[in-house]
Amino acid sequence: MATTTAPSRPASARRTTIALKILMAGTGLVFVGYVLLHMYGNLKVLLGEEAFNTYAEHLRTFGEPILPYEGLLWIVRVVLVLSLVGHVYAAFSLWSRAGTARRTKYAAAKTAMRTAWMRWGGVFLILFLAWHLLHFTILKVSPNPDATGPDVENNPYELVVASFQVPWMTLIYLLAMGALALHLAHGVFSAQQTLGLTNTPAAYRRAKVVGHATAAVIAVGFSIPPLAILFGLIK
């Protein structure tokens, strides 16, 4: 009897837009985890040069001798790069899909700010990241004419302090933190929704709160050191 209900096309859960979203949520959460740790590390600036530099050094020697020097750091770097590739791939796939899903736009549209934030905000974050890595990891250049030279560049603490004594530098970072906060306020909620953790109205509200709280903590936490330096609390 013709009562079978097999789908006409072999479908795979892995090849759906929701799978892409799950990829984005997973990688996004990796970033969140990283950023939280990074923020924690940065806050050590407040404890002074030694605490900060020891921490930076500790990151590089962590797990020795099982891991080589900078072993953990490289693992983290690889994970981060792969996550970034995944995250950006998923973001752009969905972005382009959305573009083709509505080719004729509304004449009278209420603009969807949130998608714009997420997408352009994400692009801004990438640009910031490139700048940030050039600045602190790859080139290690100090923008501060008063504090240059290998002494500064090879001393993480010095480099940080020297950099944020420059107002425009601090401004760039603060803007980036703003973008990050916006990205995370929605992103952290969104990741919970994507992972299916918000199945009741209460869980849904909680997820929104968690999103905003995470964003606030990260933005504030990251902003403290640069501001403290700019206003001369740390020298």
Partner 1 sequence: MTETTVNAGIAHGLFTEGDKIADTRAPAGPIAETWTRRKFEAALVNPANRRKLSVIIVGTGLAGGAAAATLGEAGYNVKAFCFQDSPRRAHSIAAQGGINAAKNYKEDGDSVYRLFYDTVKGGDYRARETNVYRLAEVSANIIDQCVAQGVPFAREYGGLLDNRSFGGVQVSRTFYARGQTGQQLLIGAYQALERQVAAGTVEQFTRHEMLEVIVSEGRARGIIARDLVTGEIETHLADAVVLASGGYGNVFFLSTNAMGSNVTASWRAHRKGAYMANPCYTQIHPTCIPVSGDHQSKLTLMSESLRNDGRIWVPKRREDCDKDPRQIPEEDRDYYLERIYPSFGNLVPRDIASRQAKNVCDEGRGVGPMVGDFRRGVYLDFTDAIARLGKAAVEAKYGNLFDMYARITGENPYEVPMRIYPAVHYVMGGLWVDYDLQSTIPGLFVTGEANFSDHGANRLGASALMQGLADGYFVLPNTIRDYLARGPFEPLSADAPAVVEARSSVEERTRRLLAIQGERSVDSFHKELGHIMWEYCGMERSEEGLLKAIDLIRGLREEFWRNVRVLGAGDTLNQSLEKAGRVADFLELGELMCIDALHRRESCGGHFRAESQTEDGEALRHDDEFLYVAAWEFAGGTGDGEMGAPVLHKEDLVYEAIELKQRSYK
Partner 2 sequence: MNLTLKIWRQAGPRHTGDLVVYKVKDISPDMSFLEMLDVLNEQLNAKGEEPIAFDSDCREGICGMCGLMISGEAHGPEKTTTCQLHMRSFSDGEVITIEPWRANAFPVIKDLVVDRGAFDRIIQAGGYISVNTGSAPDAHATPVPKPDADRAFQAAECIGCGACVAACPNASAMLFMGAKVTHLAELPQGQPERMARVVSMVDQHDHEGFGGCTNVGACSQACPKGIPQDVISTLNKDLRTAMRTGH
- Give the residues lining the site for partner 2 (CB under 8 A): 3, 5, 7, 9, 11-22, 93-94, 97-98, 100-110, 112, 114-115, 118, 186, 189-190, 192-201, 203-204
- Minimum separation from the CB atom of position 192 to partner 2 (A): 8
Is residue 147 at the binding interface for ligand HEM, with CB under 6 A as the rule?
no
Which of 234, 123, 77 has its CA nearest to residue 170?
234
**CA 168/CA 91 separation, integer angstroms:** 30
**CA 3/CA 19 separation, integer angstroms:** 30
Give which of partner 1, partner 2, ligand HEM, none residue 35 binds (C-beta under 5 to 8 Å, depending on kind): ligand HEM
Is residue 8 at the binding interface for partner 1, with CB under 8 A as the rule?
yes
**CA 195/CA 26 separation, integer angstroms:** 8
**CA 116/CA 198 separation, integer angstroms:** 24
CA 225 to chain centre: 18
- Using the minimum distance from each CB to partner 2, give the nearer residue, 4 or 66: 4
Tokens, residue 134: 């050039």
Of the chain, the end-to-end C-alpha distance in Å amounts to 83
Stretch that binds partner 1, among 2-10, 131-139, 148-156, 159-167 (CB under 8 A): 2-10
- Using the minimum distance from each CB to partner 1, give the nearer residue, 1 or 66: 1
- Using the minimum distance from each CB to ligand HEM, give the nearer residue, 166 or 187: 187
- Using the minimum distance from each CB to partner 2, give the nearer residue, 93 or 144: 93
- Minimum separation from the CB atom of position 3 to partner 1 (A): 5
Is residue 66 at the binding interface for partner 1, with CB under 8 A as the rule?
no
Is residue 119 at the binding interface for ligand HEM, with CB under 6 A as the rule?
yes
Is residue 88 at the binding interface for ligand HEM, with CB under 6 A as the rule?
yes
Compute how many other C-beta atoms are within 10 angstroms of the C-beta atom of residue 71: 16
| Burial of residue 153 (number of CB atoms within 10 Å: 0-12, 13-18, 19+) | middle
116 three-class SS: helix
Give the interface with partner 1 as residue ranges (CB under 8 A).
1-5, 7-8
